[in-house]
Amino acid sequence: MHRSRAWIWILLGFSAFILHLCLGRDSALVEKIYSRGFFVGLRWAWDFTLGLSPVPLLYIFLAAVAILFIIKVARCIFRPRRAPALPLVIRIGRAALEAAGWAGGLVLFFYVLWGFNYDRVGVEKQLGLETTSLTASDFAAEADWASKMAAEARAAIQGSSSSPLAAGALPADLESHLRAEMARALSRLGYPAPGRVRVRPFVPGSWMMRFSGTGIYLPFFGEGYAAANLLPYEKPFTLAHEMAHGFGFTDEGEASFLAFLACQASPLPAVRYSGFASYWSYAGGELARAAPSEFKALWAGLPEGIKADFRESQKNWARFQGRLADVSRKVYDRYLKTQRITEGAKNYSRVIDLVAAWKKKTGVA
């Protein structure tokens, strides 16, 4: 990268970040012009061009990077040296400037392609949801409700038993089904649902889980990825969560809230079960921290099939815990705080506040 171009990219990336800070959260301007305007057009344009690729765009990018790296190394080896090597300090300085230029470009495209959605008006305000500070008894009530709904949905799955949910319980066109349900959920809430958001399996999924992730949305490729080795009961909710990100919802709690609404409205019991079981995990987790004895009593009352799914999930996750997962959680916590989500990684649990408020507003018992 030429030095003058590097400085231009640095300036553009810095300007995008400063604009993000100046706009602030819950910006009506961003909601109207970017989230419901520019981003909607971008979503349509992207999904029906690059998004039609049968191969995940991330894999194409990684293959291109590998090829370019090999070419560059080959040129360095076989190209005759025409001039004396520059002093080490100058070479380090130029390399640092080039790296900063690339970083500036990444920051710019991150915000233009998706990141300004961090500044949109929150779901809570747009839907008029009255959230309150939840207590241990509230967590217990939410977890108890979720367990009853999860048990009802699981019992409706053909061939269900006390064993972990089988992959055959999910439809072959799960991604398409969830996209349609998410679009309907967004439409009911008054949001646009443009384009054809993709959430593809990430192989090898073990690497994603080693970084303590079940899924990720990558703005630079306009599509989400879910760990391929997720358990069947985890897949619908995880795919729907990443799909919500793809539709422009950056807040983790809001994405989980929309994923829950999409799953619980599905006519397929396995998809409904995924939504309620995942919600139970959030509410149950908070209850376990706030009132361990109440959590133990609630756990004891769960049907054996649901317990089997949760135990299988714990066993699956135990294989990937370690230093890498700990570091990844801390890095992501810092990233969220950089985007002014002050609670950091705890933002995921905000789904409980939103679902509880939504139930109260809509009269769901």
- Whether 341 and 251 have beta carbons less than 8 Å apart is answered as yes
Nearest to 113 by CA among 26, 41, 206: 41
- pLDDT (mean) for 47-65: 92
- Which of 10-19, 62-71, 324-333 bottoms out in mean pLDDT, i.e. has the lowest? 324-333
pLDDT confidence of 327, banded at 50, 70, 90?
confident
Nearest to 237 by CA among 217, 219, 262, 216: 262
Distance from the Cα of residue 295 to its chain's centroid: 27
Which tokens go with 296?
């133990």
Nearest to 14 by CA among 100, 93, 98, 97: 100
In the three-class reduction of DSSP (H, G, I as helix; E, B as strand; rest coil), residue 224 is classed as strand
Which tokens go with 311?
């135990």
- pLDDT (mean) for 293-305: 93
Structure confidence at residue 277 (pLDDT): 97
- Whether 284 and 142 have beta carbons less than 8 Å apart is answered as no
Nearest to 197 by CA among 238, 233, 254, 239: 239
- The residue with greater pLDDT, 322 or 67, is 67
Structure confidence at residue 325 (pLDDT): 67
- Which of 3-12, 63-72, 243-252, 334-343 bottoms out in mean pLDDT, i.e. has the lowest? 334-343
Structure confidence at residue 212 (pLDDT): 67
Torsion of CA 154, 160, 162, 167, to 10 degrees: -90
Structure confidence at residue 96 (pLDDT): 86
Residue-wise pLDDT tens digits, 166-201: 999 999 999 999 999 999 999 999 999 999 999 999
- pLDDT (mean) for 19-29: 93
Structure confidence at residue 92 (pLDDT): 80
Residue-wise pLDDT tens digits, 240-262: 999 999 999 999 999 999 999 99
- Which of 46-50, 133-137, 206-210, 361-365 bottoms out in mean pLDDT, i.e. has the lowest? 206-210
Structure confidence at residue 228 (pLDDT): 87
Nearest to 107 by CA among 223, 220, 215, 224: 220
Structure confidence at residue 157 (pLDDT): 95
CA distance 141 to 290: 13
- pLDDT (mean) for 295-307: 94
Residue-wise pLDDT tens digits, 61-70: 999 989 988 8
How many CB atoms are closer than 10 A to CB 159? 8
Residue-wise pLDDT tens digits, 98-126: 889 999 999 999 999 999 999 999 999 99
Structure confidence at residue 97 (pLDDT): 86
CA distance 349 to 359: 16
User: Could you state, in order of their start, the residue ranges of all structural domains in the chain?
Assistant: 3-119, 123-362
